[in-house]
């Protein structure tokens, strides 16, 4: 993970770096650092500290932070604990050369041994430090400039990286390179930016270039050149960013997560825009149009994803199997990629990823492609790595999601999967025009129904107050509500650190029922008409063991309402769309409990939003 940002141009670099790092903090936040080439002394000044970007900013107070060239890093520890010394940038012993890195150098042990034999001393426990000494060593041995030394060093490196390198010996040069970790270059008027994503860049320029794997970008005296690590010139065209700056601010909400929960009516509207025409009964997805004629040939769909996106994938399985009647398997990307899976003719692999950068998902997709599958992507971040390698795909258009716990990205993913299921189903003749119309009418109404649902926030906060100190929590659901139960439990565990489990309601009696006593809150999601009576029985089983029941039910429900200790009502909708509503109260419940427990909601401990390491 880790976030990187760098600047070279006519402005003072430090404010750009600090602001950029704050935007990138979702990628990691256990330590942070910056390096600048001082205007006053021409020396390379490095300031780094364990803690957040704000701590770094305080730490820089009163120090020489001048400079038009600089880079910054916010870390999510992989090798070496979070500490001042392990924070990036890492610097050569003579203090002239500095590197920041996102990724993992897999052969760092071998390289380190060689460098130690050549007299280099290591001060940190990181894999990154190897890069600094390696580049320094090559420069010394080969007598080459920084660009060439970086290129030659990268030829020796195995692993994943996005790095930025600067040196006080070549103060007008900034170098960036990537392999399997993201990197965007912002091209302004006489200035350039490098970052892990476009958020630190967007307020200065909308012109960006997405660096490809194995490419090295050098900005020298205001000129950008991009070459492959084999030293061939790479041609790139500039793309225009579409991010809206306002979406990067909290806009009056206490946390990004709360803002993002509340923005779901708008994010779903954005996701649906131009894709459904209710009065004509049409759902169309431009990103898939090229493949429409081969929908008939799809024999099996394999969905690969991680975390919340994997839960969206499970909803997708229910949707696609029910509507389009194609068998679906949902795989954890990390398992799929390492178990030599069977890919057959007619297999379609769909990757779901908010960031479009998750290392395991990307690798699983690449493997599926090599084995001959058609690959599609359902991603949120435009221009990220997954959409760039897929054959086709659909963007979720949920806008930037900053809170580490995913909320609006999940509902947008489910919305896209619903549209994919409907489109394929209709084209394959598995649903009638009438059924399509029915679902589309309801789909269009979902944003308003979420608005209505958000009015229960006060009630949910009261429930949160009662259960904020619970050590455990169980989430139960059947059918479409089972993935929602998993997602609700994940939200609670991620941000409040309460242990929570999601379970298919009927499976409860094969294990979790043993945990139920009067101190165990059980969240039952029972908005579905299907299996309703069976869920009522499950609720009774919990009740008989004195568990406390928080029920999420459809308005007008009577049976479960009579048994529940607390009731959260959601508006009625088509069965297939219920996850889009029932997940919202669970997001709010987790949010309020976490706030009441004093947790850092937007940056929960040990987590990162974009997991670009395996």
Binding site for ligand G6P (CB under 6 A): 306-309, 353-355, 358, 361, 404-406, 607, 609-611
**3-class DSSP string for 152-199:** HHHHCCCEEEEEEEEECCCCCEEEEEEEECCCEEEECCCCEEEECCCC
Q: How far is the CB of 315 from ligand G6P (least distance, A)?
A: 14
Closer residue to ligand G6P in complex, CB, 275/609? 609
Please state the closest distance from residue 364 (CB atom) to ligand G6P, in A: 11
Q: Enter the tokens of residue 33.
A: 């650092």
Please list, in sequence order, all residues whose beta carbon lies within 8 angstroms of the beta carbon of residue 246, skipping any fewer than 6 positions away.
Answer: none
The residue with tokens 């760098």 is: 6
Shortest distance in whole angstroms from residue 391 CB to ligand G6P: 19
| Residue nearer to ligand G6P on the CB measure, 199 or 406 | 406
Select the residue whose beta carbon is closest to ligand G6P and give its number: 307
Q: Residue 369 phi/psi, 5° resolution?
A: -65, -45
For ligand G6P, the closer CB: 193 or 310: 310
DSSP 289: G
Least distance from ligand G6P to the Cβ atom of residue 333, Å: 8
Instruction: Compute the least distance from the CB of residue 246 to ligand G6P, in Å.
Output: 22
Contact predicate 227/155, CB 8 Å:
no
Question: In terms of CB distance, is 347 or 602 closer to ligand G6P?
Answer: 602
Nearer to ligand G6P (CB atom), residue 217 or residue 359: 359
152 or 584, CB closer to ligand G6P?
584
Taking the complex as a whole, how short is the minimal distance between the CB of residue 436 and ligand G6P, in angstroms?
28
Report in angstroms how near the CB of residue 312 gets to ligand G6P at its nearest: 8
Q: How many residues does the chain have?
A: 614
Q: Which of 14, 259, 449, 609 is catalytic?
A: 609
Q: Smallest distance from the beta carbon of 355 to ligand G6P, in angstroms?
A: 3
Q: What does residue 17 show for φ and ψ, rounded to 5 degrees?
A: -65, -45
Closest separation in Å from C-beta 408 to ligand G6P: 11
408 vs 268: CA distance, rounded Å: 8
Residue 301, C-beta contacts closer than 8 angstroms, at least 6 positions apart: 320, 326, 327, 328, 329, 347, 348, 349, 350
Of residues 510, 503, 463, the one with CA closest to residue 487: 503
Assign 3-class secondary structure to 478-500: CCCHHHHHHHHHHHHHHHHCCEE
Closest CA to 76 of 353, 359, 363: 359
Query: Catalytic site residue 2?
Result: yes
Catalytic residue among 2, 271, 306, 473: 2
Q: At which residue do the structure tokens 């459809």 appear?
A: 554
Task: Tell me how far apart the terminal alpha carbons of the chain are, to the nearest angstrom.
Answer: 10
Residues 6+ apart with CB under 8 A from 140: none
We find the least distance from the C-beta atom of residue 495 to ligand G6P, in angstroms, to be 10
Catalytic residue status for 609: yes
Task: Return the axis-axis angle of helices 578-596 and 433-453, rounded to nearest 10°.
Answer: 20
Q: CB 490 → ligand G6P: shortest distance, Å? A: 8
Q: Which is nearer to ligand G6P, 333 or 453 (CB)?
A: 333
Find tokens 């009163």 and name the residue: 62
- Residue number with CB closer to ligand G6P (102 or 355): 355
Bridge partners of 162? 102, 178
502 forms bridges with which residues in the sheet? Answer: 475
Distances from the Cα of 190 to the Cαs of 7, 8, 223, in angstroms?
11, 9, 8
Q: How far is the CB of 378 from ligand G6P (least distance, A)?
A: 9
Closer of 196 and 361 to ligand G6P (Cβ): 361
Buried b (16+ CB within 10 A) or exposed e, 25-60: bbbbbbbbbbbbbbeeeeebbbbbbbbbbeebbebb
Q: How far apart are CA 42 and CA 40, in angstroms?
A: 6
Cα dihedral 324→381→102→64 (10° resolution): -160
Residue 164 tokens, joined: 């930025």
Q: Which is nearer to ligand G6P, 36 or 611 (CB)?
A: 611
Whose Cβ is closer to ligand G6P: residue 67's or residue 356's? 356
Q: Are 447 and 265 in contact (CB under 8 A)?
A: yes
DSSP state, residue 287: G
In the complex with ligand G6P, the residue whose CB is nearer, 67 or 377, is 377
- Taking the CA of residue 399 as centre, how many other CA atoms within 13 Å lie in the half-sphere pointing to its CB? 21
- Taking alpha carbons only, the member of 89, 85, 98, 179 closest to residue 136 is 98
Give catalytic residue positions.
Answer: 2, 609
């Amino acid at each position: 993970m880790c976030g990187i940002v760098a600047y070279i141009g006519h402005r003072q670099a430090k404010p750009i770096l600090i602001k950029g790092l704050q935007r990138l903090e979702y990628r990691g936040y256990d330590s942070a650092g910056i390096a600048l080439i001082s205007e006053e002394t021409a020396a390379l000044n490095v300031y780094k500290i364990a803690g957040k970007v704000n701590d770094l900013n305080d730490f820089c107070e009163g120090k020489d932070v001048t400079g038009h060239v600089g880079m910054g890093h916010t870390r999510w520890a992989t090798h070496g604990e979070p500490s001042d010394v392990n924070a990036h940038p890492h610097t050569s012993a003579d203090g002239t050369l500095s590197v920041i890195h996102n990724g993992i150098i897999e052969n760092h042990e071998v390289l380190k041994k060689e460098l130690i034999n050549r007299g280099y001393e290591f001060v940190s426990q990181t894999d990154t430090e190897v890069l600094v000494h390696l580049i320094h060593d090559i420069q010394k041995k080969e007598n080459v400039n920084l660009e060439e030394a970086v290129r030659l060093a990268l030829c020796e490196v195995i692993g994943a990286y996005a790095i930025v390198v600067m040196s006080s010996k070549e103060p007008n040069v900034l170098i960036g390179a990537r392999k399997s970790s993201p990197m965007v270059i912002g091209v302004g008027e006489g200035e350039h930016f490098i970052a892990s994503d476009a958020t630190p860049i967007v307020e200065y320029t909308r012109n960006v270039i997405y660096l490809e794997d194995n490419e090295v970008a050098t900005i020298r005296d205001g000129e950008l050149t991009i070459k492959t690590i084999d030293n061939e010139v790479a041609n790139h065209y500039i793309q225009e960013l579409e991010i809206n700056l306002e979406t990067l601010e909290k806009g009056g909400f206490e946390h990004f997560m709360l803002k993002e929960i509340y923005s779901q009516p708008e994010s779903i509207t954005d996701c649906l825009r131009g894709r459904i025409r209710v009065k004509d009964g049409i759902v169309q997805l431009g990103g898939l149009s090229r493949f429409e004629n081969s929908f008939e040939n799809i024999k099996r769909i394999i969905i690969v994803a991680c975390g919340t996106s994997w839960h969206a994938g499970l909803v997708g399985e229910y949707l696609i199997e029910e509507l389009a009647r194609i068998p679906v398997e949902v795989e954890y990307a990390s398992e799929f990629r390492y178990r030599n899976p069977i890919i057959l003719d007619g297999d379609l692999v769909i990757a779901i990823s908010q960031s479009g950068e998750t290392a395991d998902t990307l690798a699983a997709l690449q493997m599926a492609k090599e084995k001959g599958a058609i690959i599609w992507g359902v991603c949120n971040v435009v221009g990220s790595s997954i959409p760039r390698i897929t054959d086709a795909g659909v963007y979720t258009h949920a806008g930037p999601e900053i809170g580490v716990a995913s909320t609006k990205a999940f509902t947008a993913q489910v919305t896209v999967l619903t549209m994919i299921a409907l489109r394929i189903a209709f084209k394959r003749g598995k649903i009638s025009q009438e059924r399509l119309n029915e679902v589309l009418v309801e789909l269009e109404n979902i944003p308003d129904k979420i608005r209505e649902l958000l009015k229960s926030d006060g009630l949910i906060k009261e429930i949160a107050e009662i259960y904020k100190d619970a050590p455990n929590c169980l989430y139960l659901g059947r059918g479409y509500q089972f993935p929602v139960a998993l997602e609700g439990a994940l939200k609670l565990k991620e941000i409040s650190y309460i242990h929570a489990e999601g379970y298919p309601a009927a499976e409860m009696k094969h294990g979790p029922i043993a945990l139920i006593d009067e101190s165990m809150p059980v969240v039952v999601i029972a908005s579905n008409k299907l299996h309703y009576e069976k869920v009522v029985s499950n609720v009774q089983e919990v009740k008989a063991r004195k568990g406390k029941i928080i029920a999420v039910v459809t308005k007008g429900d009577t049976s479960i309402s009579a048994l529940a200790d607390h009731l959260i009502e959601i508006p009625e909708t088509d069965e297939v769309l219920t996850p889009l509503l029932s997940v919202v109260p669970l997001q709010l419940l987790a949010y309020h409990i976490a706030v009441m427990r004093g947790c850092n909601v937007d940056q929960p401990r040990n987590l990162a939003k974009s997991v670009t390491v395996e």
